[in-house]
A and B are shown apart, each in its own frame.
Chain A
Amino acid sequence: MLDAGVITNYALFGAIAQMLYTAPVATIDADVLVGLQSPDRLDVLAPIYRFCHDRGLEVEGETIRVGAWPVQFVPTFNSLTAEAMERADTTDFEGVNLRVVRANYLAVIALSTGRAKGFARILALLESTHLTRDQIATLAGRFGLAQAWARFEDRFLDE
């Protein structure tokens, strides 16, 4: 997809990316951040769906079945997710190099959603020791989420 110019870049995020750092977590699909040639068009995902359809991959609701996994392609939707995708690490998955969003970006994206599931992700990442509170604070501050991080610390970390 990258070589064909359908997307400009990609990186796994969500639960599948989280598992690079933590114990396995229950999930039913794989989330992939993608950069697109024409992010402003209305049918923004059409080129991806067309590309996959031409290769015999099935569309299932909002996802495309790739092997055992329904994959959800999510165009980068703000400067945080765009930077998370660009600065992703390349990691080997059974002989295939895959780009995976780093732990600090996973945590701050989770923080930005304000959802319980995201908060659980942050706590799991902190517990994994791949990430420190300072690293989250620094990145959260750069993206206008300093207050959200302070609230999170107050609620879940400062006892």
Chain B
Amino acid sequence: MNDHREILRKQAEWQRAQADLSWPAKVRWVEAVRESIVRLRCPPTHAVEPPRPPDESG
């Protein structure tokens, strides 16, 4: 329980620190992770093969 509280406290501290950054620093930060955001939001472009039915020959 105390570990969870400590993690939440650190997370809140980190979020406050992020909010206190300058506006250009925040925009540059998002710019740096933009490509990852695009990849996360877009579905994969490769075709996914449907599962094969079980082999009934033997």
Contact = CB atoms under 8 A, between A and B. Distances in A.
A20 B23 contact: yes
Contact residues of A: prevailing secondary structure: loop
B23 A26 contact: no
Given A24-B18, A128-B19, A19 B27 contact: yes
B37 A23 contact: no
B36 to A, nearest CB: 9
Nearest to A94: B24
Contacts of A91: 23
A23 B26 contact: yes
B1 interface: no
A22 interface: yes
Interface residues of B, number: 16
Contacts of A28: 34, 37-38, 41
B8 interface: no
A43 to B, nearest CB: 28
A69 interface: yes
Q: Which of B19, B21, B38 has the most CB of A within 10 A?
A: B19
A23 B31 contact: no
10 contacts: A23-B26, A24-B18, A24-B26, A24-B29, A24-B30, A25-B30, A27-B34, A27-B37, A28-B38, A128-B19
Interface of B: 15, 18-19, 21, 23-24, 26-27, 29-31, 33-34, 37-38, 41
Interface of A: 15-16, 19-20, 22-28, 68-69, 91, 93-94, 128
Closest 7 CB pairs of A and B: A23-B18, A23-B19, A24-B26, A19-B26, A20-B23, A26-B37, A94-B24
